[in-house]
Amino acid sequence: MIALLLEGVSTPYELQSLAGLSPGATIPILQSLVEDGHVRAGKPGIRGRIAYVVTLKGEKWLETIWPTLLQDGPSGDLDSDLRVFLIAVRVGNDRVRAEAFLRKAIAHRQETLGEFDGKVRQEGGGIRLADHYVSLRSRATTAILKAEVKAIDSILDRLSGGLPTTKRTRAG
């Protein structure tokens, strides 16, 4: 959230329209960031929208916290993993570690695929409805994981042009 605010995406509406984040998810987070002193809320503007600006405390916090996101490793959630990657590139200017993080995300998914592959084989001859559901769900998860591996691999292949670093806007 702080990284997006630093990029100038400053209202819950913009967070929704530009970053795909719902106001129901972002508003409580923004309120918490204000309470913690990481963000300052402006006065309601046109259409009652409140713009948020990162404080110096928030900027320092983000610069301190992003390396731990890489150290914690991939979560298995594609959106979360891509966000961590982008924060490492845009905020941390550490493309090498960011790419290594994505490679770990691929490895994590491939491990999970191996686990599901064995599970699908074991469940093969079930006759109950629940057995069929578990089998279908395992197969669907396998397909999703394979697609995510391909997508992340494609992202790594396309990184030869690089990503620009972030321009920062914060409260004075």
For the chain, 172 residues long, give each residue's pLDDT as a single digit of tens.
Answer: 999 999 999 999 999 999 888 989 999 999 999 999 999 999 888 788 899 999 999 999 999 999 999 999 999 899 899 999 999 998 899 999 999 999 999 999 999 888 876 665 555 555 677 777 877 888 888 899 999 999 999 988 887 666 555 444 445 4
Is the pTM here over 0.75, yes or no?
no
Cβ–Cβ contacts within 10 Å for residue 23, how many? 13
Architecture, CATH, for domain 1-68: Orthogonal Bundle (1.10)
Q: How many other CB atoms are there within 10 angstroms of residue 70's CB atom?
A: 19
Q: How far apart are CA 89 and CA 96, in angstroms?
A: 9
The 3-state DSSP class for residue 124 equals coil
Task: Give 41's DSSP letter.
Answer: E
Give the separation between CA 65 and CA 69, rounded to whole angstroms: 7
- Taking the C-alpha atoms of residue 36 and residue 115, their distance in angstroms, rounded to an integer, is 41
Domain map (residue ranges) of the chain: 1-68, 73-164
